[in-house]
A and B are shown apart, each in its own frame.
Chain A
C-alpha cells in the first residue's frame, strides 16, 4: 500500500517532455536528492523560499556530478528576484506549459557535460575547484561574482562555490578561490572589502560607539557651551533651569541669548551612564551576532572580496579534469617547487656560458593521466606520484632536481652529462616505471611520453621549458 502511494507520488513528480525526464519537486515535497541523478533536469515549485533554497543548495552541494550538474528550473508565478537562487538555477518558468522554453538549455547542458572528464582529485581543494569549473563550463558562464547575501556569514556569497560550505565555514570559499587563482584557473578583480569577526569570521556585526573606559554603549552626548562674558564652560546640562527651557549661565546667572554673540558651542562631550566617565573620543566596538564577542573595530579582520573570471586554462582544466593543486604536488617528497626548478635552470644556463660542458633537462609525462587518475582514489594517486618520484630519484645524481610541471608532467635536470646518455637514462627509467606499475597497481595502464632537451646557453630558460613540454597536450 505504502509502496503504491510512493510510486504514485513519483509518477506525478516525473514529467516526460521532448525526450527529457524532468523531476518536478512540489513545494515542501520530501524528495531525496539522490533521485535527481535519474532525470535530465529538475523543476522546483517556488512557494516557500526556504524550501527552494534548501532543495537547490542540496543539489548543487552534492559531490556527484550526476547530481550537482543537473539543470534546475524554478517554477514561479511571481517574478520576485532572488539573485542567489537565480545564479544557482538555470532559468525560471511561470507554468508547466512553458517547458518548451527550457528544453534548449537542458539540451545544451547535457551536451556540454559530455565534454567533461571526471578524475578523482587528490585534495579537497582540487575537488571543490573541479565542481566550480565544471559547473561554470556546463552553464557556459565565465564569471564568479560575489553576491551580497544576508544568509551569508561573511556578507558575500559566491553561489556556485559557497553552496558547498556550511555557514560557519564560508571563509573556506575565499581560500579556495585564492588557490584557484594561484593555479591560473581564475583571474580576480577587486570588488569590495568586508570586516570579519576575529574569533569566528562572521560579518554579522553590530557597530556601536562605546565608552573608552568601560566599553558600555549606554552613553549620552551633550553640547559644551562657552559663555563669553564670564568665561564659564560646561555641558549644556549646567545651563538648564527648572522653570523654563531657556538656558542660564550657572556662573553669572545671565540668560544665554544669541549663539556666536554671547555664547557658543565649541565641542561635544559624551557621558557614560555606566561608569560616569566623560569623553570626547568614543571607541567603536563591533559586537558579533554569531559568537557574541564584543571587540574594538581595530581587531576585525579586513578581508578583500574579489570577483573572478574563468581563464582559458580553467576551462581546459574542466574538460581534462583537474586533479591536483600545486600545493598538493609540492608536498610530494623528493621534489622541489616548479618555480625553484626554473630558477635553478636559469643558473645552470648562466654557468654553461662560462664553462664548456653539456647539461640537459628531461620530462616524463603521463599521457593518459585523466584515465589513470579517474581509476585511482586520491590516496592511490598520491602513492603513484610518490613512487614515480622515488624511481626517478634513484636514477639521477643527487645534485639533480625533480619538480612537477603539472599533475601529469614531471621535469628533472640532468646536468654535466652528454645528451645521448641522458636519453639513455630516461629510456631505462621508463621501463623501470612500467615494471613498478605492473607490480604495484593491478590492471592499470599508464602511458609515458618522454623528452630530453640539451641546454643551449644562447636560449633563455623559458624557451627551453617551452620546448621541453610542447609535445605533451
Chain B
C-alpha cells in the first residue's frame, strides 16, 4: 500500500479547498441561513407543522442532504477531471499508486470536505432552530455513507466527462431535481397521487428519510431500507470505479 501516495493526493485536494475557503465555507453558511430565513421563518411561519415538527426543523436533514450530495459530487468530479483537463494526470498514471489508492485519495478528500460541510450546516442551523438529534451515531453513519457514495459517483462522473458541460450537466439536471423532489423540503404524503408513488422511485427520498429519522424518528420508508439503498448505491459505484481503472477507461489509451 502506497500510504504516502494516498496522503499526497488527499493533502493536495484538501489544499485546493483551503485556497477557496470563502467559497467552501462562507458560501454554504450564507445559503443555509437564507434557506432558514426564507423557508423556515417566512414561509415556515405559515406552514404549521410537518409530521409533528416545526417546518424549520423539518428541512434541516433535507438541507444537509442537498449540500452533501451536490458538494460530494462537484468536489470529487472536479478533483479528477481537472488533472485530465490540464494534462497533469500523466503523473498519477505513471506513479506507483493502485486504483484503490487513487480512489482513497480523491474520494477520501471529497467525502471529508462534504462531511465538514454537513457539520457546518448543522452548526448554522442551530442558530435558527432548536436542534434535537435523536440518534447522533446513526446521523453520522448516514452523513458519512452519503458523502462517500456520492464522492465515488462524482469521481466516476469526472472520469467520464470530457468537457466542462458534461461535468455540470449531471449535477444540474439530475441531482438537483432528485433532491428537490425527494422530500427534502416537504413530506411526500403532502403530494397528490400519482406523485406520491412516483416519489418512491426517487433514490434520494430514501437518503433524506433515513437522515430525518436519525434526527426526529420520523421517516417515510423504513430506516433499514434507507441504509440498504445507500449501501447498494455505494457498492455499485465501487464496482464501476474498479471497472474503469481495470480497463483504463478514458485515462489510459
Are A and B co-members of a single complex?
no
Give B residues with C-beta under 8 Å from A.
none
